Amino acid sequence: MNGEQASARRTGSSSWATQAVAWEFLAAAVLMLASVFLVSTEYQQEARKKYGPATPTSRMLPLGRLSALCGVFIVLAMLSSGRKAGRIAAAFGGLVLSGVAFNERDVFVSLAEIFPPPKK
């Protein structure tokens, strides 16, 4: 491999940290959007009676949270180009993804109701 090919390979490919941040963003966005469609309306009505109209299950709240998620991951994507900063950005992206997964536990409950485990 000559010098031109090596430099083209280094500059043309994205680092593993950038790819990790991109996949973490995609997974977190899918979880947030799934909550809009999978959480039942009965659950939302019960939550509104209990907590008021600005409940975590309202339809506008995921839009605001998704906007914040995009802002966080844009910053992480910019940081992921460096070697050490890329590791930190990928780790912080994983932390954000785990927080989203814990917060969107209703999606997993809805999926368990749609696809129940097989009976023995």
Q: What is the pLDDT of residues 32-44, one digit of tens each?
A: 888 878 766 666 6
| pTM listed for this prediction | 0.72
The answer to whether 16 and 82 are in contact (CB under 8 A) is no
Task: Give the residue carrying structure tokens 């990928």.
Answer: 90
The answer to whether 103 and 35 are in contact (CB under 8 A) is no
Torsion angle, alpha carbons of 73, 75, 80, 84, to 10: -120
The answer to whether 30 and 100 are in contact (CB under 8 A) is no
Kindly list the domain boundaries of the chain, sorted by start residue. Answer: 15-114
Q: What residues contact residue 92 under an 8 Å CB cut-off, 6+ apart?
A: 76
pLDDT surpasses 60 at 7? no
